[in-house]
Amino acid sequence: MASILPASNKPMRSDQNTYVGKSFVHVKNPYLDAMDEDILYHLDLGTKTHNLPAMFGDVKFVCVGGSPNRMKAFALFMHQELRLPGSGEDIEDICAGTDRYCMYKVGPVLSISHGMGIPSMSIMLHELIKLLHHAQCCDVTIIRMGTSGGIGVAPGSVVITDTAVDSFFKPRFEQVILDNIVTRSTELDKELAEELFNCSREIPNFPTLIGHTMCTYDFYEGQGRLDGALCSFSREKKVDYLKRAYIAGVRNIEMESTVFAAMCRLCGLKAAVVCVTLLDRLECDQINLPHDILVEYQQRPQLLISNFIKQRLGLCDQTS
Ligand code: R2B
Ligand code: URA
């Protein structure tokens, strides 16, 4: 990809994507350069209709999560934690023109929903990564916050993913492209995971661990549940599978981490996945937590990520 920096103030190039001291978000598509306009259809944004560098150029932290309401709540929480002026209540959904995804910007933090499952995450990420590229963002950290089913860990535990694995416990994401299967690595940034873990240790009563996260294409049979509309295996087979997952290092199961890890890695984004567990899948399949406990658990990744961002911004004395 040709550089989007004006030739006159282009810093010295040290490799394909890093200009001395700065790491830019990059895209790997030779056709993009030749396009007169890029319409980010599902985000309701575009290079001709919006001044993307002015709107997003200062973004340093991108936080993504499945639910639009949760990502709005996170944006409001960040507004308060960063002590930005105003109540934040009038915060605007930048993607209000579409009901596919929502997006809020709070200082250097972008909060975006990605829906459920790999295809929904993948569409959002293609457009988000192009957005960050068009906006000339640099040194961006991206974190997925979410919910998950734990394996052998107490409900309410926060799992920071070291590696996302597929249903065969392999660190790979297989994407069908034309009629080929393309396999991509799902390694995440180990230093970022450690930094988040260290941050978690400063929060009282905050059970956190680092482990593998298994990403599946389905919530029910795909996660070995016995309570879907279909179930084609025995209780014994389910327990045997989940125990093998545990032995392979898997501590939680969700539905987006492999494509998230693979795409962010290829595009030079430092990425992390932080998910709270809602149940122990070795014990049960149904999520039957009282509403207030469910709400509190869902806030745990938000609290950790907010403290991490404040620490990175040198606002540690304001840690919640
Ligand atoms: C976690 O929770 C959702 C399913 O309930 C899914 O998006 C995921 O990854
Ligand atoms: N999300 C999942 O994908 N699985 C669970 O068990 C809970 C939340």
Q: Is 35 annotated as a binding residue?
A: no
Residue 233 within any structural domain of the chain: yes
Residue 6 within any structural domain of the chain: no
C-alpha 199/C-alpha 158 separation (Å) is 12
Residue 141 within any structural domain of the chain: yes
Q: Given the CA of residue 148, which atom of ligand 1 is nearest to it?
A: 1
Backbone angles phi, psi at 15, to 5 degrees: -150, -170
Q: Whole-number mean pLDDT of the chain?
A: 94
Tokens of 112: 């975006």
**Residue 11: per-residue pLDDT:** 42
Q: What is the CATH number of the domain that holds 56?
A: 3.40.50.1580
Q: Given the CA of residue 219, which atom of ligand 2 is nearest to it?
A: 3
CA–centroid distance, 150 to ligand 1, in Å, is 12
Residue 155 within any structural domain of the chain: yes
What residues are in contact with ligand 2 under a 6 Å CB criterion?
147-149, 219, 223, 253-255, 278
Residue 249 within any structural domain of the chain: yes
CA angle centred on 271, ends 15 and 193, rounded to 5°: 115
Residues 6 or more apart in contact with residue 35 via CB below 8 angstroms: none
Domain count, the chain: 1
Q: Given the CA of residue 254, which atom of ligand 2 is nearest to it?
A: 3
The mean pLDDT value for 128-142 works out to 98
CA–centroid distance, 274 to ligand 1, in Å, is 13
The mean pLDDT value for 75-81 works out to 98
Which structural domain, as residue segments, surrounds residue 92? 32-312
Q: Is 255 annotated as a binding residue?
A: no
C-alpha 319/C-alpha 313 separation (Å) is 11
Residue 184, pLDDT > 60, answer: yes
Residue 178 within any structural domain of the chain: yes
**Residue 18: per-residue pLDDT:** 55
Report pLDDT digits (tens) over 219-268.
999 999 999 999 999 999 999 999 999 999 999 999 999 999 999 999 99
Residue 302 within any structural domain of the chain: yes
Q: Does the beta carbon of 219 sit less than 6 angstroms from any atom of ligand 1?
A: yes
Residue 282 within any structural domain of the chain: yes
Residue 320, pLDDT > 80, answer: no
